[in-house]
Structure formats: structure tokens, C-alpha cells
Amino acid sequence: MSSFILLLLLQFCTARDTITTIQSLKDGQFLVSDNETFALGFFSPGKSTNRYLGIWYNNVSEQTVVWVANRDKPINDTSGVLSFDNTGNLVIHGPNKKIPVWSTNVSASGNVFSAQLLNSGNLVVFQGDSKGAVVWQSFDYPTDTMLPLMKLGVDRRTQLNRFLTSWKSRDDPGIGEYSFKIDLIGYPEFFLYKGLVQLWRTGPWNGVRWSGVPEMAPNVILDFSFVDNQNEVSMSDVIHDASIFSRMVVSESGTIERQIWHGDHQQWIGVWSAPKDQCDYYSHCGANGNCDSSVNATAFECRCLPGFEPKLARDWYLRDGSSGCKRKRRGGTCQNQEGFIKMARAKLPYTLTALFNKTIGLKECESECLKSCSCQGYSSAEISLGGIESGCVTWHGDLMDTREFSSGGQDLYIRVDAVELAQYLKSQQSHAKKGVVVAIVVSSVAALFFVIWLLSWLVMRKRKVKRRQNNLLFSSNSSTSFKTIQTGNQFDESETNAELPLFALTTIVAATENFSSSNKLGQGGFGTGRLHNGQEIAVKRLAKNSGQGVKEFKNEVTLIARLQHRNLVRLLGCCIQQDEKMLIYEYLPNKSLDSFIFDKTKGSSLEWRKRFEIILGIARGMVYLHQDSRLRIIHRDLKASNVLLDASMNPKISDFGMAKIFGANQIEANTNRVVGTYGYMSPEYAMEGLFSIKSDVFSFGVLLLEIISGRKNNSYNQDNFVNLIGHVWNLWGEEKALDIVDSSLAKSCSSQEVLRCIHIGLLCMQEFSTDRPTMSDVAFMLCNETTLPPSKQPAFVFNKPGGPHSFVANGGAPSINDITLTTIQAR
């Protein structure tokens, strides 16, 4: 058949999922896959007016783009055209018809080509029709999304590396700063990077899943596979039901998430994501450290592996485990009688220094490790779906990025010396003896308890019925389940976070001595009390006419019940009975931060190092809320009085009554009800009702300046400025910023460190939210001596009336766009 006849056939017989060398696709036209799952065409992301060629789900109500061609070269009008050039390449032209903005850039012979959008979402260029040779495919050049049947990894024959890169923002699909790609040093595994910095890793493949992703396993929806041979090293997955949509995406906020489209709810549901807690971050506890996120909020998540001790004890005391651990100074681990201690449910260490042998079993693996003085530990190389272990991995250097899961993971055997091994065996024997004693005692009193239970069953049943009637205060669609407790015992952290104890009103009345005024904590509805078991508590009692109604109360309870971090206040339970609504918190003896920094006497005891630790602690708590928790939380009322201090002066963020939950990829939201505190609100929130993580960043910047200066922003009134922000900005421009520092810090502070903090505060308070850093950026800048970008003028820089550049309206109240700030609903 001649080329001319083939061209005619392609022109008149082409399906709507295909274009040929004599056809083009203009802006406004689309290709749709044969199963109508995917569409290809020009689109504008988010609020942008730029045009990009992309592929998206055709039947998903929320536009979900899975691939973008000209991601760094947008077209600023609707002149875009996709077509073949005379070399057989797909090209995109914009206004300039001579120079393409994008091309497949391959070399192929012949003059007849076609491009087809397959049912998998893969755009494929064939030589000839769809039965010809594949010349190019979009699956080889992924953007931020991995689809079923797509491969990520390296083709060892062509050196093609397929990896994911995030968008710059929701409005800009350009190549962002986050990437997910394979690391071939050691045993292959995938890393999530921020630039060149390793953020998180999957752990090595163990035959069933990545060892660092316990949630990942073959299921009724997906099968996962990993290939490592002479041709390629890659991961992929296959979906069993084509009607179910699945994707894995690297977000512009720095997370990677596996999602399933839920048709009934019309939204993407996260199956797993990373990093999801502080232990997920690469080498959070340093070399030879072990991270355990299941510890309670007051405990340090980092521990040393058996046989090791902190390298820098002072840093560990300050809850910074990044320096890692070193071997204890004893006889060493290459002597007689040393052995191994098993660490269960572990994420296997980074395999940079590991050796693999798939031909031997676990017993032989132990022997091989003992033969080598450099071997620090071992594990099985693979496990089957039935849990059978095989193969051998031995580590011959520092054990990096090890963590402990509550479920999943693998057994890791740590090499220890004879002393450590003897201590471990002794403790195991002691536990065994205690177990025998406990079993005898339990069996002896079991009959007695049975009789007591039988006698009290009728009474308890009657009480339960009455308690249910009294406590039907939460609607059936509440996202939190509550466990009723009549005695007021402390919350058991071994239970799921979603279960929150409900205290009886009589218990709280007794604990607070009938809400005695002598137990009151300052102004507002907080008081102290002591439970029957001796535990001190703080009780937040909402007045019957409180501005925080049932909705806000349910919001605060629901949120805090799910949040666990050492820099967030810990909720023990709640009481909702009759007309009372109360929250029961852990008692923090030093009360709130404002009682220190705004009091000259108490503030003098708060030297610079402690203030800096408080600043850093608040930043870490906000990073958890914005990024690391299971929910993305916008606090909306971050201020000094909502930061509480424990006995060691560690900060804990409190009061989540105005907080909002954001979706994983949600950037901002709008409200008609602006709530918060004047002086801490960002301009876009105060005047437009727009709130986001960046509005919290603004509040943090104000709080940071208040901690440094010991002065309130919203009551500052001197030197021709109506607020602290304006005064600091003026001093910064005159290079006199240190004049703002609290006089009590003169002897204890480092001028460079203070200036750096002031600079960070100004960056946080820039007028436009897009200019402000994220809280993770803030925490990084606080902890590292990096070059900071220059700050633009902050928002709300006002002078007094009559001063230079004064801005006065409506009787003297500072105003922007004719909206008087004093009209904002504040708390």
C-alpha cells in the first residue's frame, strides 16, 4: 500500500482518540480515550489564564490533570495547536508558528505517524497506525502523577529515568521543587526529594511492599510489582477494576500520596501518604537512632538502637536527635559472646552500606554477620505473602533512617556486645517471671471478679441507659466517636485517637470543688482541678452565652482528639451534659505565654535561649498542623495567649475552636464570618475572608516579634506608629532593629540570632500571602544558617495620624480599602 493511500485511510478513518500527520488539535478541541476515561487538550490550571496541553480524567467532576506537555512553557492565549512536524515529532505551536514551544524530540524514519490517547491515559506516537512501532509515549516522561501500568525507574538499556516532579503551585504546573525518583546506590529504593535534599524514602522492596510503607500491600483494587534485572529497575501497579480510578501524586506541598477516586462522595480519598509524621522524615533521629511516633506527645520520639548512646547528649536532652548515636564504649562487638537484639516492625535502614545475598536463609545470615567485624545488623531480604522470610541483608556501616511502626515493617537484628546482650536477656527473663506471677494471680481472683461482675451487671446496665439519655449531644454524623467514662479516669493512649473520654459532670464538679473561684486560671472560662486519681487537669468551661457555640465546640473536640504532638496541648476528654460544655486538658502550670512576655517581672526570667526554644517549638507545632498531621489544620487564632507553657517552659499551642480542616491539596478557603484576634490577622483574611496556611504564617510572624520585643502588637502606640509591625519595619530600614529587643534580653541574646529571627518575622508578615514562607520553611530557617531572602514591606504598616505616610479613615481607625479594622469580629 502506498504512503498516499495510507494517509487517506488515516485521515478518514481516524477515531476521536487519534490524530495523524495530516491532522492537528487546536485549543478547544479534545482527544478522548476509547473507554472515555481520559481526555487530552489545552487547559488553564486553577486561577491561571495560561494554556497548557495536558491529559486529565474525563469523567471526574474535579478536574484532575495527570500529565502536562509544555509545563514550563505556557501559551498566554488560545492560539495553541498540537500537530506533527515534517520529522515525525509531535509539536505544540503558540502565536509563533515557526518555533514550537514543545516537541517529542525523537528521531524516526518515515513520513506517516499517528498519536493515540490510550485507555490507560498514555499518549503514544506510532509509526503508521496504532499497530505500528512505538516511537514515543507520555508514560516515559511523567509529570507529577503515576497511573496504573506506568513504570517509574530506570531503563538500564537506554538510561531513561522515569520519575515524578511536583507542580510549582496549584496555578502553575511548571517543574516544582519536589521529586520522587529511584536511588540505585545500595539496594534500589525510591526517595522523595526537596531539590537535592532527601525528605523521605520508601525503604527497600521486600517482595510484597516497600518496607517503609506498611499500608502498601496487594489488595482487591491494586497489585504492586518491582522489577530489578539487567534491562530495568522499576516499580508499577495494575488495577483490577477499570471502573476504579487510582493515582499516586507528588504535591506542591511536598507529600506523595496514593489516592482512589470515590464516586459516591465525588472526591479523591487518600490510601496512604508520606511523610505523614516526624519519624517519616529522612534521618530524623540521625545515624543509629530509632524513631517511634507512637510515643505520647510529652515523650521524645527518638531513641538509640540497642548498644548505642546519644552522640551529643545535650542535643538529645533538647529533643534534637539529628546528631545520632554512637557505640557504647565497652569491649566492642567483635569479641566472643556478642549477639543480636531483635527490633520488630522496623523500617529497614538505608542500604547504602548493605550487602545482599538471596541464596541463604536468616540463620546463615546471622552467621555471616558475626563473621564480619564491620557488620552492624541483618535482616531478611524478602518476605512472602504468607510471612515466610528468605534471603539476607547485612549492614556494614551506620544504620541510617530506622524507625519503628505500630504495625507492619520487618524484623531487624541489631548487633550488640556481650554486656548489652546479657542485660537484654535478663530483662526478658524478668518479664517472663512477672508474666507467670500475673497469670497465677489472675486465675486465682477470676472467680471472685465473676461474682462481683454478676452482682453489679444489673446496676451498671441501668446506669448506662441513663447515661446514654443524658449524653446524646453529638449528632450521628460526627466524625469522632466518644467513649463515656463515669469515673473520670485518664485517657488511655493505647486506644485509637478517635475515641475520646466523656467525663461525667459530677466528676468535674468534684475535681474543681464545684468550680471554686480559687481554682480559676486568669480571665475566661479556664480553671484547674484534680481527678480522683490525683491527676491535675485544666477545665475549659464555656459560658451559656459563649461565642463558641456547639459547632465550634464540636470542631475543637474533633480536631484535638486527632492531633498528637509535643507542641500541641493534650486533650484528656470533654464533658457535655445538661447545659454544660467543657473541655478537659492536661494541666500546664506556667499558664500562657502572654503572662510571661508582657510582664516585666516574669519576662526577665525568660532569657533569650528559652525564648528561642519557645519560638522553635511553636514553629514545629504549626508545621505539624499544616503538613505532618493526618489532617491539614489552619488554626486561625494563633497568638500569645493561645500558647501554653508546661513545667519545663515548653510551648503547647491551644484553643482550636476557630480552626479549619483543609484537604491535602487545598490552598485557601473563603469565609463570610471572619473570626480571630485583631493584630494577628493577615490582611487577606481580615478584609476578604480568605484564609490559608499563609494566614497562620502571618500570625506566627506577629507572635515572633512580640516574643522578641516583649510588647503587644495591637496595643503598641509610640514613635509615630500605631502597631509594633510598623515600628519594627521602620527600625529594620534604618538598620536599628535591635532597638526593639526586650531590655531584659540584653545580656543573654546573640545579636545575629535575634536579627535573623526578626528577619524571619518580617518575611512571615509580608502583605501578599504568596510572598510568605511556609511554616516548614520557617522552621528550616530558624534551625539553619542559610541566606534569607529580602523582605518586602509587611502588611498593616501604619503611622499615627499626621505622621509620614499616615492612613486614617472613619474617625481615626486605621483602614485599608475603606474597611475599618475595628469592625472585624474579634475575640
Beta pairing partners, 379: 393
Please indicate whether residue 417 is annotated as part of the active site. no
Distances (CA, A) of 380 to 182, 338, 392, 406, 416: 22, 20, 5, 20, 18
* 115 CB-near residues (< 8 Å, 6+ apart): 18, 19, 20, 84, 90, 123, 124, 125, 126
Helices (H) and strands (E) in the chain, counts: 14, 50
Asked whether 375 and 334 are in contact (CB, 8 A), the reply is: no
CB 399 within 8 A of CB 304: no
Residue 540 is classified by DSSP as E
Look up residue 316 and give its three cell numbers. 538529645
CA-based angle 412:417:422, to the nearest 5? 90
DSSP 637-699: ---GGGEEE-TT--EEE---TT-EEE-TT--EEE-SS--S-TTT--HHHHHH-EEEHHHHHHH
**3-class DSSP state of 807:** coil
Q: Which residues pair with 669 in a beta bridge?
A: 691
Hey, what amino acid is at 593?
L
| Calpha distance 46→495 (Å, rounded) | 41
In degrees, rounded to 5, the angle at the alpha carbon of residue 185 between the alpha carbons of residues 183 and 188 is: 55
CB 167, CB 174: distance < 8 Å? yes
**Active-site choice (277, 401, 628, 637):** 637
Cβ(307)–Cβ(289) under 8 Å? no
Q: How many CA atoms lie less than 13 Å away from 237 in the CB half-sphere?
A: 24
Cell of 605: 526570667
Active-site residue numbers?
637
